[in-house]
Chain A
């Protein structure tokens, strides 16, 4: 892969910060956008903008086509079915919005007794200690409201979700109805053994919800092959725009799942004196005007990723991981997560003895290097390692070995500066 050529497609990367060339190592928070994605959003407004799925004029038709074409591009990226009557991707306001939609739909289903989603006291919902707050909290709330019990899969010393038979049998019991977990931790970068959890969950008849936010941008993901029932991911981490995400659901489940947002564009027949008749999925989950320009741009991002090749993206990022993991050889640095390059992506969180992450981030920023500091919206996994916050590097397809070396040089100098 020609990294210089790839980088040239990202206008933002070509700038200096504090007098140094920008090294953007925070793609786990949000990825930068190639020019084709930025242009797609603007071009939509310049040439096509119109309401989708309504109106008889030409622009409305083109707008609808562009919107559905985007759904198709994203569906191809993640191995979801596409097409009228087959669609398995619902447009959401982001991954967090998608996960909340799902948890709220389970809540509605519990009220109306709609199986296989309904939760009652005695039922269990299982997450893991590695979850982002956007998985933990919607399902914790769901339990609180339905009377179901929240359980969780614990982590091993490296921060990987324990998927040995004993751990799985202990956390996922016959009472489990939903098992929700992350495909890749946004803190440790560890890739979860999805197959092991899915096998156990399905053996006890539980639905599987996958948080795919950190996997879709980095590795080839096929929801059918993974055999998960639902999955959520966001566009902005996969080189697309903010404000858009997608909720995947197996078609027959999306058909049974009750809607949670009500209004325009999701109803077939509405009356004054009786309940409305809702449209088929995905429309029944997409009430109101959607962020159409952003969805269109997300489709362009998905196609852009496929054209580069998921294998090439994964391979490139993988080649940088060993150098990145050399962080642990620096005096006073501790990596929170797997220390080998196996079954992990280029997301590495670390601590520096005696220097608070906020100070580390400030120091590293002064060298023009952008990393994330804080708890990365995953407090329990930090507590697992005995910390509140950490420093996190997360790679994108545009990062180079030179940037990793600059980062390590900066990290080496941190303690000297703060103990001068």
Chain B
């Protein structure tokens, strides 16, 4: 039983959850009394760089309270290059699986083209749906880099959402940014 638990909570996960990459403080905390007040109108998110569009997405796992706001800044493609993730930050709280997954996602997608990032997102989702079996595809597993450590988590249906939360935030915020570009 302990082996399984250690397979799930690999050291990479515990370390990443303790000192997560890409985490910054910019969103409201749901445990605070302030969050009891009605939320103010949705804030506009400004891009930090020129020729970039920024958007953010709040994701929430009500069963355990994992919560994250992912903010992404995409190049707008006007330079003729493919759309790229120029910057990604996130803020949130939650279990070690969700926090580690966000940290590792940050390392994986920062600076990548959006297409590459979305491909990684699909691969990661497949891994999480593998019920512990992995991907049976060496190239795909290699592309996931450190994110492959979540293979052990995929055995636990109750925890899959924890690992996917950040990726959902990335997909959603990128989709919002793309919509803004086409406006």
Are A and B bound to each other?
Answer: yes
Query: A19 CA to B14 CA in the complex, in Å?
Result: 25
Binds B, one of A37-45, A234-242, A265-273, A380-388: A380-388
Tell me if B21 is interfacial: C-beta within 8 Å of chain A: no
Partner of A362, one of B2, B67, B159: B159
List chain B residues, Cβ under 8 A from A20: 1
Query: A359 CA to B153 CA in the complex, in Å?
Result: 12
Query: A181 CA to B30 CA in the complex, in Å?
Result: 24
List residues of B (34-86) whose CB comes within 8 Å of A's CBs.
35-36, 62-67
Contact A373–B5 (Cβ < 8 Å): no
Contact B156–A362 (Cβ < 8 Å): yes
Query: A260 CA to B136 CA in the complex, in Å?
Result: 56
Query: A255 CA to B157 CA in the complex, in Å?
Result: 48
- Interface bin, chain A: 20 to 34
Distance in Å from the Cβ of B29 to the closest Cβ of chain A? 9
Tell me if B8 is interfacial: C-beta within 8 Å of chain A: yes
Contact B96–A388 (Cβ < 8 Å): no
Known: A359-B96, A374-B63. A388 touches B159 (CB 8 A): no
Query: A382 CA to B55 CA in the complex, in Å?
Result: 31
Distance in Å from the Cβ of B37 to the closest Cβ of chain A? 12
List chain A residues, Cβ under 8 A from B94: 356, 358
Contact B64–A367 (Cβ < 8 Å): no
Cβ contacts A51-91/B at 8 Å (1 or 0 each): 00000000000000000000000000000000000000000
List chain B residues, Cβ under 8 A from A363: 5
Contact B156–A373 (Cβ < 8 Å): no
Query: A100 CA to B8 CA in the complex, in Å?
Result: 41
Partner of A418, one of B14, B30, B31: B14
List chain B residues, Cβ under 8 A from A389: 64-65
B162: nearest chain-A partner, CB-CB? A358
Query: A358 CA to B99 CA in the complex, in Å?
Result: 12
- Interface bin, chain B: 20 to 34
Tell me if B27 is interfacial: C-beta within 8 Å of chain A: no
Query: A374 CA to B94 CA in the complex, in Å?
Result: 11
Known: A356-B95, A356-B96, A418-B96. A362 touches B8 (CB 8 A): yes
Tell me if A375 is interfacial: C-beta within 8 Å of chain B: yes
Query: A419 CA to B17 CA in the complex, in Å?
Result: 11
List chain A residues, Cβ under 8 A from B31: 382-383, 386-388
Tell me if A46 is interfacial: C-beta within 8 Å of chain B: no
List chain A residues, Cβ under 8 A from B1: 18-20, 366-368
Query: A386 CA to B34 CA in the complex, in Å?
Result: 11
Contact B67–A388 (Cβ < 8 Å): yes
Query: A298 CA to B9 CA in the complex, in Å?
Result: 42
Tell me if B4 is interfacial: C-beta within 8 Å of chain A: yes
Query: A316 CA to B14 CA in the complex, in Å?
Result: 40
Known: A356-B96, A374-B65, A418-B14. A362 touches B35 (CB 8 A): no
List chain B residues, Cβ under 8 A from A356: 64, 66, 94-96
Tell which of A373, A388, A419 has the most Cβ of chain B within 10 Å: A388
Query: A366 CA to B159 CA in the complex, in Å?
Result: 14
Cβ contacts B140-162/A at 8 Å (1 or 0 each): 00000000000000001001001
Tell which of B8, B33, B63, B65 has the most Cβ of chain A within 10 Å: B65
Distance in Å from the Cβ of A331 to the closest Cβ of chain B? 18
Distance in Å from the Cβ of A174 to the closest Cβ of chain B? 26
Distance in Å from the Cβ of A406 to the closest Cβ of chain B? 13
Tell me if B110 is interfacial: C-beta within 8 Å of chain A: no
Query: A367 CA to B4 CA in the complex, in Å?
Result: 12
B18: nearest chain-A partner, CB-CB? A419
Contact B65–A359 (Cβ < 8 Å): no
Query: A357 CA to B156 CA in the complex, in Å?
Result: 16
List residues of A (403-420) whose CB comes within 8 Å of B's CBs.
417-420
Known: A359-B95, A383-B35, A383-B36. A366 touches B2 (CB 8 A): yes
Query: A383 CA to B33 CA in the complex, in Å?
Result: 7
Query: A359 CA to B156 CA in the complex, in Å?
Result: 12
List chain A residues, Cβ under 8 A from B65: 357, 374-375, 388-389
Distance in Å from the Cβ of A410 to the closest Cβ of chain B? 11
A360: nearest chain-B partner, CB-CB? B95
Tell me if B93 is interfacial: C-beta within 8 Å of chain A: yes
Query: A362 CA to B96 CA in the complex, in Å?
Result: 11
* A-B pairs with beta carbons under 8 Å apart, 21 shown: A18-B4, A19-B1, A20-B1, A356-B66, A356-B94, A356-B96, A357-B65, A358-B95, A359-B97, A366-B2, A367-B1, A374-B65, A375-B62, A375-B65, A380-B36, A383-B30, A388-B30, A388-B93, A418-B9, A420-B11, A420-B14
Known: A382-B31, A387-B31. 8 other contacts (CB 8 A): A18-B1, A355-B96, A358-B95, A366-B4, A383-B33, A386-B31, A389-B64, A420-B11
Binding site for B on A (CB under 8 A): 18-20, 355-359, 362-363, 366-368, 373-375, 380, 382-383, 386-389, 417-420
